[in-house]
Amino acid sequence: MTPGSLVLLHTAGAAAWGDLPGELRAAGLTVIVPDAEGSGPRYVARASLLIAAAAPPQPLVLVARGAAGPLVPAVALAQRAAHRAVGAYVFVDADLPRPRRAHDHDHAEEHSEAPTGAHAGTQTPIPPDWPEAPCVYLRTAQDHMTEAALREARLRGWTTAEAAPASGAPLAETLARLIAGL
């Protein structure tokens, strides 16, 4: 696929991506890096406002790292609500989104003074039609968490890839190749 824009999402802010945005731009890609930090609905709202302000070419490819992974469906929903097409999702060493189950509890919510129905936790809802575009999981870290996420992505039928940091191929090159293959 040919993306209109890559949107790099990281809950630690734009600086957490290091040189990657510049390397992707040097490869001719349009890159948006919302400088949002935090988690949950506030992160989703802030990142979505920054994406809108950038008026990115479409379709968007949402690229998430770490704790931004579970927030991707909510960010995608905000983009779709604003009539911006999402063409693909890429998870780089990211936690995966999981639907909230009936028996899940947010204990912080139970002890807060928030009104009934207010969501005090960090879990964001997943739209019932998500994912409506192809998903890719790229593992670069060699740890137990990313190994488990890679295995789960394979079980979901997603495209998966592994790239060791010492392999010599820059992350930007690997991402561009994966996205082009969708």
Q: What is the mean pLDDT of residues 144-164?
A: 90
**pTM higher than 0.75, yes or no?**
yes
pLDDT in tens, 110-145: 433 333 333 334 466 677 777 899 999 999 988 888
> For 59-92, what is each residue's pLDDT tens digit?
999 999 999 999 999 999 999 999 999 999 999 9
**How far is residue 38's CA from residue 179's CA, in Å, rounded to a whole number?**
27
CATH code for the domain defined by 5-112+121-180: 3.40.50.1820
pLDDT in tens, 5-62: 999 999 988 899 989 999 999 989 999 999 988 888 899 999 999 999 999 999 999 9
Checking if the pLDDT of 97 tops 70, the result is yes
More confident residue, 99 or 6: 6
Contact 62, 32 (CB under 8 A): no
Predicted pLDDT at 85:
93
Give the pLDDT confidence score for residue 127 in this predicted structure. Answer: 74
Residue type, 143: D
